[in-house]
Amino acid sequence: GESVGLHLPTLSVQEGDNSIINCAYSNSASDYFIWYKQESGKGPQFIIDIRSNMDKRQGQRVTVLLNKTVKHLSLQIAATQPGDSAVYFCAENISFGNEKLTFGTGTRLTIIP
């Protein structure tokens, strides 16, 4: 049957400020991690990825940090804009090429104008 609905963690940030979204992943064997953005009623959109041999990777306005010791992943969004409002998911992959992704619970980011 259908699972009981869970309340998504939420984060509200003033427009122009920086935001940090955190994710605790589950499998210490995971070696590839991705952040996705999902707007209401749409599919996930790729933001940035990182391999386990790195601890930081930067994109345009976004930075992903990986701490393998505590199995923690974070997404930093700089100078947030209203269009950044969405649900953000981290996903892990045990072996790049294995292809199966396990998604985290997600965080709803709301940008306050």
Partner 1 sequence: GAVVSQHPSWVICKSGTSVKIECRSLDFQATTMFWYRQFPKQSLMLMATSNEGSKATYEQGVEKDKFLINHASLTLSTLTVTSAHPEDSSFYICSARPSDRPQETQYFGPGTRLLVL
Rounded CA gap, 84 and 37, in Å?
9
At closest approach, how far in Å is the CB of 36 from partner 1? 8
According to the binding rule CB under 8 A, does residue 5 interact with partner 1?
yes
| Closer Cβ to partner 1, 4 or 70, answer by number | 4
At closest approach, how far in Å is the CB of 102 from partner 1? 8
Rounded CA gap, 80 and 112, in Å?
9
Binding mask 45-74 for partner 1 (x = CB under 8 A): xx--x-------------------------
Q: For the chain, percent helix, then strand, then coil, each to nearest 5? A: 5, 50, 45
According to the binding rule CB under 8 A, does residue 6 interact with partner 1?
yes
Rounded CA gap, 72 and 82, in Å?
27
21, 44, 64, 85: residue in contact with partner 1 (rule CB under 8 A): 44
Is residue 76 within 8 Å of 20, Cβ to Cβ? yes
Binding residues vs partner 1 (CB under 8 A): 1-3, 5-8, 34, 36, 41-46, 49, 89, 96-97, 99-106
